[in-house]
Amino acid sequence: MALDEFYCLACRKARKPAEGFADCTVKDGRAMLTALCEVCEVVVHKPVSVGRIPEIARLLDLMTTPRPLPDAPARKEA
């Protein structure tokens, strides 16, 4: 499967993301790409290493975000 393809469980085939767009969430040295299948528009996921993100970004329009941290308790003002 190519770097710019995801395996779609609904189609049971490797598919490119709709409009060449994917979200990328980074956590613990791994990245999870999420997109829509270009054929059936089902959400598809693909785990990749962080080191491959620049290579994938040349092929897809990526929106990269770090994993959000849990909410910290509110600070009291003195």
Angle at alpha carbon of residue 15, lines to 61 and 54, rounded to 5° = 30
- DSSP secondary structure letters along 21-69: EEEEEEETTEEEEEEEBTTT--EEEEEEEGGGHHHHHTTSEEEEEEPPP
DSSP for residue 5: -
Q: Is the pTM of this model over 0.85?
A: no
Question: CA neighbours within 13 Å on the CB side: how many for 53?
Answer: 19
Integer Cα distance of 21 and 24 in angstroms: 10
pLDDT, mean of each 10-residue run, the chain (78 residues)? 94 96 89 96 94 92 74 55
